[in-house]
A = this chain, B = another copy of it.
C-alpha cells in the first residue's frame, strides 16, 4: 500500500488539533491590556503545545520521506500516535489553567510520555517492515533524542508531585531539544 493517505490523514488530524487549541483562548469581555493578563498562562501553554505538535508533524514528515510503503501494522501504529496527540488540547487547557497544580501538570506529562512512546513504536513498526538495513533504519540510528525525551518525561511526571513548575520547565526543555534541527533523515536521504 502507498503512504499517501496515511500522510494526508495525519496532516488533517494534526491540523485540526493545532487549530482547535486556539478556540480555548476565550475572547475577554474587557478591552484593555489588563483583560489579556489572565490569558497569559493559557497563551503560553498554547505556544508550547503548538511547538510540540509542530515538532511531531515535522518529524512525521521527515520520517515518511524515508518510507516507501505501509502495511496494516503501520496504519494502526500511526493511529495510536494520533490518539495521544488528540488528547493534547484537553491536557493542555487543564494544565494551562493550573500551572502550579500537580495532577493537571502530571497528566500533561503523561500524554507527552505516551505520545513519545507511540512515536517510538511507529518507528519500530516501520523498521520491522522495511528491514534493518533500510535507509530508514540507518537514518534513525540509535534515536538518542527519542530516548532522552521519554526519560525526561518520566522524571518530569514524578517532579510534578514535588514542584509542578519544574516539570513544566522540563517539558519546555524537551521541546527546545527537538527544535534544534534533526538532520539525520535529510542527511541519509541525500547521501
Chain A interface size band reads 35 or more
- A50 engages B186 (CB within 8 Å): no
Residues 55-98 of A at the B interface (beta carbon under 8 Å): 57-58, 61-62, 64-65, 71-73, 75-76, 79, 82-83, 86-87, 89-90, 93-94, 97-98
Q: Do residues B98 and A31 form an inter-chain contact, with CB atoms below 8 A?
A: yes
Q: State the main secondary structure of chain A at its contact with B.
A: helix
Q: Which residues of B contact A47 (CB under 8 A)?
A: 83
Interface set of A (CB-CB < 8 Å, partner B)? 1, 5-9, 11-20, 22-23, 25, 27-28, 31-33, 35-36, 47, 50, 54, 57-58, 61-62, 64-65, 71-73, 75-76, 79, 82-83, 86-87, 89-90, 93-94, 97-98, 101-104, 107, 181-183, 186, 189
